[in-house]
Amino acid sequence: MKLQQVLSRVRKAVDDYEMIQENDKVAIGISGGKDSLTLLYALSSLKRFYPKPFEIHAVTVDLGFSNLNLDGIKAFCESLGAEYTIVHTDISKIIFEERKESNPCSLCAKMRKGALNNAVKQVGCNKVAYAHHKDDVVETMLMSLIFEGRLHTFCPATHLDRTGLTVIRPLIYMNEADVIGFVNKHQIPVVKSPCPADGHTKREYIKDLLKQLNYENPGVKEKMFTAIKNGNMEGWPMQ
């Protein structure tokens, strides 16, 4: 996928849900994976011509795994002219050594978001961008339906009253396959997750289920996404 195509979808999402206002300072949560680095590339390009001027600041929460190398991401941020902050934590030690969590993902997510939000405020940002794409939107809805018995997924933009920050998700119109193609085409320096739970979660089960459903019923993922957009779900204003 070409950069122009990515920018077209990102800008449409930003415009449709009014994600960026004039003089916003947007932090981008960088895990090192394909999605967050694609978002960083896209927003660093969008800011050059978007009619509402805004700034970006990349932030990585280092969970404390000893085998995580962020040198490639540092160089990538420098090449884009983006400020980059690394927040060092002991989250991995707390979860895997001290607490020995059998289901670590929920607690890790809470601790990681807390560390990220604190860092975002410290560097003076008023918004934080997460790299959730269309597949993530649908997968989260299926997880909620199957495991919680309710219809729910995250919103394109959410204001967090407790922190005063606004979370935005500019990749929601992009398919995961589009992200993979973009990363491969532009040789973006993706960093593999060092987490031992990576690839062994409920989300992976749902991801495989969605792939099977879409294989047996071509277009079903798009229909699910359309139902979310037009279903008057909380946080999803009718387009």
Residue ranges and CATH numbers for the domains of the chain are: 3-230 (3.40.50.620)
Tens of pLDDT, residue by residue over 168-178, are 999 999 999 99
Contacts of residue 141, Cβ cutoff 8 Å, sequence gap at least 6: 151, 152, 153, 224, 228
Tens of pLDDT, residue by residue over 192-227, are 877 777 666 788 899 999 999 999 999 999 999 999
* Residue 238 pLDDT class (50, 70, 90 cuts): confident
pLDDT reported for residue 239:
65
* Token digits of residue 10: 């990102």
